[in-house]
Amino acid sequence: MSRMTLRGVPSAPVPPPPRWAVLAAHLTALVVLPSGLWRIALVLGHPAGYTEAGFEPFTGVDDKVWMLTLTVASELVALLTIGLVRPWGEVVPHWIPLIGGRRVRPLAAVVPAALGAAGLTLIWATVPLWWTYPHEDLTATGSLVVGILYQPLFLWGPLTAAVTVSYYRRHRVRRRG
Protein backbone atom coordinates (compact mmCIF):
# COMPACT_ATOMS: atom_id res chain seq x y z
CA MET A 1 0.00 0.00 0.00
CA SER A 2 1.15 3.49 -0.74
CA ARG A 3 0.63 6.54 1.40
CA MET A 4 0.77 9.78 -0.55
CA THR A 5 1.41 13.10 1.18
CA LEU A 6 0.15 16.41 -0.09
CA ARG A 7 1.56 19.55 1.37
CA GLY A 8 2.66 17.62 4.44
CA VAL A 9 -0.73 16.03 5.15
CA PRO A 10 -0.77 12.24 4.84
CA SER A 11 -3.70 10.76 2.98
CA ALA A 12 -5.38 7.45 3.59
CA PRO A 13 -3.39 4.53 2.19
CA VAL A 14 -4.49 3.47 -1.27
CA PRO A 15 -3.74 -0.06 -2.38
CA PRO A 16 -1.87 -0.40 -5.67
CA PRO A 17 -3.94 -1.28 -8.72
CA PRO A 18 -4.19 -4.97 -9.56
CA ARG A 19 -2.11 -6.15 -12.52
CA TRP A 20 -5.21 -6.86 -14.59
CA ALA A 21 -6.35 -3.23 -14.17
CA VAL A 22 -2.96 -1.88 -15.24
CA LEU A 23 -3.04 -4.14 -18.29
CA ALA A 24 -6.63 -3.14 -19.12
CA ALA A 25 -5.78 0.56 -18.78
CA HIS A 26 -2.90 0.22 -21.22
CA LEU A 27 -5.00 -1.86 -23.60
CA THR A 28 -7.46 1.04 -23.91
CA ALA A 29 -4.80 3.06 -25.72
CA LEU A 30 -4.04 0.11 -27.98
CA VAL A 31 -7.64 -0.68 -28.98
CA VAL A 32 -8.05 2.86 -30.32
CA LEU A 33 -4.81 2.78 -32.32
CA PRO A 34 -5.76 0.65 -35.38
CA SER A 35 -8.71 2.81 -36.42
CA GLY A 36 -6.64 5.93 -35.79
CA LEU A 37 -3.85 4.71 -38.02
CA TRP A 38 -6.41 3.98 -40.74
CA ARG A 39 -7.77 7.55 -40.49
CA ILE A 40 -4.22 8.91 -40.68
CA ALA A 41 -3.76 6.95 -43.92
CA LEU A 42 -6.87 8.73 -45.26
CA VAL A 43 -5.48 12.10 -44.15
CA LEU A 44 -2.24 11.35 -45.98
CA GLY A 45 -4.18 10.74 -49.20
CA HIS A 46 -4.29 6.93 -49.29
CA PRO A 47 -7.78 5.64 -50.17
CA ALA A 48 -7.33 2.90 -47.53
CA GLY A 49 -9.97 0.58 -48.95
CA TYR A 50 -12.35 3.14 -50.42
CA THR A 51 -13.40 3.17 -54.04
CA GLU A 52 -12.40 6.27 -55.97
CA ALA A 53 -15.88 7.77 -55.57
CA GLY A 54 -16.06 6.71 -51.92
CA PHE A 55 -12.73 8.38 -51.12
CA GLU A 56 -13.71 11.73 -52.65
CA PRO A 57 -15.46 13.06 -49.48
CA PHE A 58 -12.22 12.59 -47.52
CA THR A 59 -10.03 14.76 -49.73
CA GLY A 60 -11.02 18.20 -48.43
CA VAL A 61 -8.88 20.08 -45.91
CA ASP A 62 -11.78 20.31 -43.44
CA ASP A 63 -12.31 16.55 -43.67
CA LYS A 64 -8.64 15.86 -43.08
CA VAL A 65 -8.54 18.22 -40.09
CA TRP A 66 -11.64 16.50 -38.65
CA MET A 67 -10.16 13.00 -39.07
CA LEU A 68 -6.85 14.03 -37.56
CA THR A 69 -8.60 15.79 -34.66
CA LEU A 70 -10.81 12.75 -34.06
CA THR A 71 -7.78 10.46 -34.08
CA VAL A 72 -5.74 12.56 -31.65
CA ALA A 73 -8.72 13.22 -29.35
CA SER A 74 -9.66 9.53 -29.27
CA GLU A 75 -6.14 8.49 -28.35
CA LEU A 76 -5.87 11.19 -25.67
CA VAL A 77 -9.17 10.11 -24.13
CA ALA A 78 -8.02 6.49 -24.18
CA LEU A 79 -4.74 7.50 -22.52
CA LEU A 80 -6.69 9.16 -19.69
CA THR A 81 -7.71 5.68 -18.57
CA ILE A 82 -4.07 5.07 -17.62
CA GLY A 83 -4.51 7.81 -15.00
CA LEU A 84 -6.82 5.46 -13.13
CA VAL A 85 -3.86 3.17 -12.41
CA ARG A 86 -1.05 5.72 -12.14
CA PRO A 87 -0.17 8.30 -9.46
CA TRP A 88 -1.43 11.18 -11.62
CA GLY A 89 -4.90 9.72 -11.13
CA GLU A 90 -4.50 10.37 -7.42
CA VAL A 91 -2.57 13.65 -7.40
CA VAL A 92 -2.81 16.24 -10.18
CA PRO A 93 0.64 16.63 -11.77
CA HIS A 94 2.50 19.71 -10.50
CA TRP A 95 2.92 21.19 -13.97
CA ILE A 96 -0.85 21.76 -14.34
CA PRO A 97 -1.62 25.41 -13.48
CA LEU A 98 -3.82 26.22 -10.47
CA ILE A 99 -4.60 22.65 -9.43
CA GLY A 100 -1.20 20.94 -9.72
CA GLY A 101 -0.27 18.98 -6.59
CA ARG A 102 -3.83 18.65 -5.33
CA ARG A 103 -5.38 15.30 -4.49
CA VAL A 104 -7.86 14.03 -7.07
CA ARG A 105 -11.20 13.42 -5.43
CA PRO A 106 -12.17 9.86 -6.36
CA LEU A 107 -15.60 10.80 -7.66
CA ALA A 108 -14.04 13.49 -9.86
CA ALA A 109 -12.31 10.63 -11.67
CA VAL A 110 -14.94 7.92 -11.31
CA VAL A 111 -18.00 9.82 -12.55
CA PRO A 112 -16.52 11.03 -15.87
CA ALA A 113 -14.78 7.69 -16.41
CA ALA A 114 -18.01 5.75 -15.77
CA LEU A 115 -20.04 8.05 -18.03
CA GLY A 116 -17.36 7.79 -20.68
CA ALA A 117 -17.29 4.00 -20.40
CA ALA A 118 -21.08 3.84 -20.77
CA GLY A 119 -21.03 6.17 -23.75
CA LEU A 120 -18.21 4.31 -25.47
CA THR A 121 -19.94 0.99 -24.90
CA LEU A 122 -23.10 2.34 -26.54
CA ILE A 123 -21.26 4.02 -29.42
CA TRP A 124 -19.23 0.95 -30.37
CA ALA A 125 -21.75 -1.77 -29.45
CA THR A 126 -22.66 -2.49 -33.09
CA VAL A 127 -19.08 -2.70 -34.41
CA PRO A 128 -19.12 -6.53 -34.32
CA LEU A 129 -22.01 -6.30 -36.81
CA TRP A 130 -19.86 -4.32 -39.29
CA TRP A 131 -20.07 -6.95 -42.02
CA THR A 132 -23.88 -7.17 -41.89
CA TYR A 133 -24.21 -3.60 -43.20
CA PRO A 134 -23.62 -2.65 -46.83
CA HIS A 135 -20.52 -0.54 -47.53
CA GLU A 136 -20.91 0.48 -51.17
CA ASP A 137 -18.11 3.06 -50.94
CA LEU A 138 -15.55 0.45 -49.86
CA THR A 139 -13.97 -2.28 -51.92
CA ALA A 140 -14.54 -5.83 -50.68
CA THR A 141 -11.00 -5.94 -49.29
CA GLY A 142 -11.41 -2.45 -47.86
CA SER A 143 -14.58 -3.47 -46.04
CA LEU A 144 -12.79 -6.47 -44.54
CA VAL A 145 -9.73 -4.46 -43.48
CA VAL A 146 -11.70 -1.52 -42.06
CA GLY A 147 -13.96 -3.93 -40.20
CA ILE A 148 -10.96 -5.63 -38.64
CA LEU A 149 -9.34 -2.30 -37.72
CA TYR A 150 -12.50 -1.05 -36.01
CA GLN A 151 -13.33 -4.27 -34.11
CA PRO A 152 -11.04 -3.45 -31.15
CA LEU A 153 -13.14 -0.34 -30.42
CA PHE A 154 -15.84 -2.70 -29.14
CA LEU A 155 -13.58 -3.29 -26.11
CA TRP A 156 -12.89 0.38 -25.34
CA GLY A 157 -15.96 0.98 -23.15
CA PRO A 158 -15.83 -2.32 -21.23
CA LEU A 159 -12.08 -1.95 -20.56
CA THR A 160 -12.61 1.60 -19.31
CA ALA A 161 -15.50 0.41 -17.13
CA ALA A 162 -13.39 -2.37 -15.58
CA VAL A 163 -10.51 0.01 -14.79
CA THR A 164 -12.98 2.54 -13.38
CA VAL A 165 -14.49 -0.06 -11.04
CA SER A 166 -11.00 -1.02 -9.90
CA TYR A 167 -10.13 2.64 -9.23
CA TYR A 168 -13.38 3.14 -7.31
CA ARG A 169 -12.81 0.06 -5.16
CA ARG A 170 -9.28 1.14 -4.30
CA HIS A 171 -10.30 4.71 -3.44
CA ARG A 172 -13.67 4.31 -1.76
CA VAL A 173 -13.91 5.43 1.84
CA ARG A 174 -13.95 2.47 4.16
CA ARG A 175 -16.26 3.01 7.07
CA ARG A 176 -15.24 1.73 10.47
CA GLY A 177 -17.70 -0.29 12.42
Task: Give the integer Cα–Cα distance in Å for 102 and 104.
Answer: 6
The percent of residues in the chain predicted with pLDDT above 90, rounded, is 74
25 three-state secondary structure? helix
Single pTM value for the model: 0.87
Among the listed ranges 4-8, 56-60, 125-129, which one has the minimum average pLDDT value? 4-8
pLDDT above 50 (res 177): no
Could you tell me the maximum CA-CA distance found in the chain, to the nearest angstrom? 69
Q: Which helix (H) or strand (E) holds 102?
A: none
pLDDT of residue 80: 94
Helix residue spans in 44-174 (DSSP H): 52-55, 61-80, 106-124, 140-150, 156-171
Write b or e for each residue in 74-94: b if 16 or more Cβ atoms lie within 10 A of its Cβ, otherwise e: beebbebbbbbbeeebbbbee
The per-residue pLDDT for range 23-54, each reduced to its tens digit, is 999 999 999 999 999 999 999 999 999 999 99
The per-residue pLDDT for range 53-88, each reduced to its tens digit, is 999 988 999 999 999 999 999 999 999 999 999 998
Task: Give the integer Cα–Cα distance in Å for 150 and 71.
Answer: 13
For the beta carbon of residue 108, count every other beta carbon within 10 angstroms: 11
